[in-house]
Chain A
Amino acid sequence: MSSPEDNAPVLLRGIAALLAAALGVAIAGALTALPPSSGLRDAVTGQMPASGVAHPVTAVLLNFRGYDTLLEVAVLLLALIATWSLRLARPPAGRDRPGLVLQALVRLLVPLFIVLAGYLLWLGAHAPGGAFQAGALLAGAGVLLTLAEGRPLGPLAPAALRGLAVLGVAVFLAVALLALGGGRLLEYPRGQAGLLILLIEAASTVSIGLALAYLFRGDEPVPPERRP
């Protein structure tokens, strides 16, 4: 075991404080020196009718800079695969048995969470919302289920769970490659952008919710016969 003191030596602390303060002052100074500019706002506003959605942030995320979002879903999947490959010990089941009130409450809340996730997903086309907000709600439902039940999520086989985790990236990549036929990567066909974005977001919502819930749990999906 190391010493209880969690701090570095005084000299290192001084150098670190100077470095951090200099960086903070430099960033603050650069911010005050920024010229007033509307950035890319007018370019985005000008292309909004072609984007297939009505909310500018969703248009940037899923259309104008769609490859950012594709890579982001891929990073989430990568983190999930890397965490599963660490083979952390499963959380001990039944150690602190949750009360009946919590279990009953979770059974009431989870369907509500799923409906709300669907609403947020649909809302993303014209207001703040979308796949990540909806996926975070699904993940919240998964975390509540994990805490209340203390066992694997749902009756699905591990292969099905892994498939659902990959679904978002797979659908996103498929749409990107299909669009490649008529133009460039992720350049949606004219007039079908709205439908394709909804398809990508629906698939991503499921994958994001599953990935975040399993990142919270830390354990791999196990087949039913090996469950406690």
Chain B
Amino acid sequence: MSPLLTYGIAGAGLIAIGLYALIVRRHLLRKIIALNVIGNGVFLTLVAAAPRLGAPDPVPHAMVLTGIVVAVSATAFALALAVRVRDATGAAALPPPDGDGASGPGH
């Protein structure tokens, strides 16, 4: 197995781990971290796929650089929203799925 394939499979694994945590965890901070794990998996996959024949293709590298800044912007805004949710509801988490939702945000 080539080292590039190893990085690509590691990226696919990060995407899977992040997607699982994004669905299962209710705490907003954990969801934000899960989204970042997915994003980093995508970046790792893209960079691993760049040098398939000789020297690396610069276009995926540029896309990852752009993606990092967009991910940082989205994460910062998500964290600010999570702080706002905590201030408004007392907990930075989604309500439990079987609850009546009376204590949750948005009700």
Contacts and interface: CB of A to CB of B under 8 A. Distances in A.
Given A20-B19, A60-B61, A83-B76, 17 more contacts: A2-B93, A8-B25, A9-B97, A9-B98, A19-B19, A23-B15, A36-B53, A37-B52, A44-B57, A57-B58, A57-B65, A72-B70, A75-B74, A79-B77, A83-B80, A88-B84, A215-B80
Nearest to A65: B62
Interface of B: 5, 8-9, 11-13, 15-17, 19-20, 23-27, 30, 45, 48-50, 52-63, 65-66, 68-70, 72-74, 76-77, 80-81, 83-84, 87, 90-91, 93, 95-99, 103-104
A225 interface: no
A13 to B, nearest CB: 5
Which one of A9, A21, A39 has the highest number of Cβ atoms from chain B below 10 Å of its Cβ?
Answer: A39
Given A65-B59, A76-B69, A19 B23 contact: yes
Contacts of A27: 11-12, 15, 45
Contacts of A218: 80, 83
Nearest to A7: B24
A79 B24 CA distance: 27
Smallest CB-CB A-B distances: 7 pairs? A24-B16, A39-B57, A79-B73, A215-B76, A56-B58, A60-B62, A27-B12
A47 to B, nearest CB: 11
A1 B91 contact: yes
- Chain B, interface SS category: helix
Nearest to A16: B23
B65 A76 contact: no
A57 to B, nearest CB: 5
- Chain A, interface SS category: helix
Interface in A176-217: 208, 212, 215-216
B24 A31 contact: no
Interface of A: 1-3, 6-9, 12-13, 16-17, 19-21, 23-25, 27-28, 31-32, 34-41, 44, 56-57, 59-61, 65, 68-69, 72, 75-76, 78-80, 82-83, 86, 88-89, 132, 208, 212, 215-216, 218
Contact of A88 (B83, B97, B98, B99): B83
Contacts of B52: 34-39
B5 A32 contact: yes
A132 B97 CA distance: 41
Contacts of B54: 38, 41
B15 A1 contact: no
A16 B58 contact: no
Contacts of A44: 57-59
B62 A68 contact: yes
A2 B91 contact: yes
Contacts of B87: 88-89
